[in-house]
Amino acid sequence: MRITVSQSELNTGLALVGRAVASRPSHPVLANVLLTADATTGRLQLTGYDLSLGIQTSLPAAIDTPGSITLPARLLGEIVARLSADSPITLSCPEDGEQVELTSTSGRYQVQGLPAVDYPDLPAPASEPVLLPAPALVQGLRATLFASSNDEAKQLLTGVHLQTLEAGLEFAATDGHRLAVLTLQAEAGASADDLNLTIPSRALRELERLLPRSGEVELLSSAGQVVVRVGEMTFTSRSLEGTYPNYQALVPASFSQRITLDRRAFVAALERVAVLADRHNNVVKLTVDPAIDRVAIRADAQDVGSGSESLAAGIEGDEIQIAFNVRYLLDGLKTMASERVLLLGNAPTTPVVIRPDEEDAGFTYLVMPVQVRS
């Protein structure tokens, strides 16, 4: 193999696929990146794969001799990043050899690799691709990823559930204490076969960073694997097996309490009170007083102190006191962009739903209250 590539393009490509290289590989070759030079297309393909998450991209190259080899991802990335951007890089490796020489105007480096035949193939689902608007996918991930579980014992809850509905495209995530659901209208939905799958949040966090803010992406899924294609990038992940919980059944059909608050003022008050709540158990108490149309927010940290705030609110319903994990409240409120939010509930021990106070917002955030002693 002998090729010449741009230093900046190779550096960008290695940084991209390096996100999918195992930090503690089960096999030495999984610590490497696969380089494949194709004379027909005139491109160098880069692949990183840890058997769960895979990223592949390609870049233009002058290919004198095609071939493939795997090289240590971290070492190769550090060398290329430090070479001059003003000089192209030539990579050469004798046929059947395992040592690659990198040549630039500033010097020569030899890197020992492993045969490409040892590198696992990326999954290639045979299903028809589903076309999704990239902005819709980004919006759905940002609105739900934070609510997924970090507990590997709840494996299915460590992902985001994605499905197509007649109304459009729906994203959902829950950790058992809270639930975030975003439904996007039909024009933002899929254009082909129905989707109904759960994808690990770890993979989706990487995907969300890589997605463009315009255009369309292709999504394919089958046999426990998901592939997302956008431009020259291919992103693969396993999907989580099992039937996702019927989360819609968790949302109450009606509410006896309806509280309208300024979202920014609510967030600011919670953040101030959270300084004390964080020192004890993250719990804040909300006291809703319809007589004066205000909501009081209070945190008590034993042997430390206490803090309280009071906000004007539109209140429908009786007086009620209810407690929450303040971090759960803030996580959901910060994903919203609306000026005002609705808190909908029934009792101090039943779920509370928080929604933007605007029509067709499509976002529902459910939080379980915390039971505290008086």
CA distance linking residue 154 with residue 176, whole number of Å? 9
The whole-number pLDDT of residue 322 equals 95
**So where are the chain's domains?**
2-118, 130-249, 251-367
Average pLDDT, the chain: 92
Where does the pLDDT of residue 164 fall: very low under 50, low under 70, confident under 90, or very high at 90 and above? confident
Nearest Cα to 58, choosing from 70, 42, 80?
Answer: 42
- Mean pLDDT across 279-307: 91
- Mean pLDDT across 339-362: 91
Nearest Cα to 245, choosing from 194, 190, 198, 182?
Answer: 198
**Domain 2-118 in CATH: superfamily?**
DNA Polymerase III, subunit A, domain 2 (3.10.150.10)
The whole-number pLDDT of residue 304 equals 85
pLDDT tens, 128-141? 888 888 999 999 99
Q: Does the pLDDT value for residue 194 go beyond 80?
A: no
CATH of 251-367, one of 3.10.150.10, 1.10.10.10, 2.40.50.140, 3.30.565.10: 3.10.150.10
pLDDT tens, 73-100? 999 999 999 999 999 999 999 988 899 9
Q: What is the CATH topology of the domain spanning 130-249?
A: DNA Polymerase III; Chain A, domain 2 (3.10.150)
Nearest Cα to 188, choosing from 148, 147, 143?
Answer: 143
For residues 107 and 126, the model is more confident at 107
Q: Does the pLDDT value for residue 29 go beyond 60?
A: yes
Nearest Cα to 156, choosing from 170, 138, 176?
Answer: 176
The whole-number pLDDT of residue 237 equals 95
pLDDT tens, 242-271? 999 999 999 999 999 999 999 999 999 999
Q: Does the pLDDT value for residue 192 go beyond 60?
A: no
Q: Does the pLDDT value for residue 44 go beyond 80?
A: yes
Q: Does the pLDDT value for residue 25 go beyond 80?
A: yes
Whether the CB-CB separation of 182 and 139 falls below 8 Å is answered with: yes
The whole-number pLDDT of residue 193 equals 55
Q: Does the pLDDT value for residue 186 go beyond 90?
A: no
- Mean pLDDT across 194-204: 91
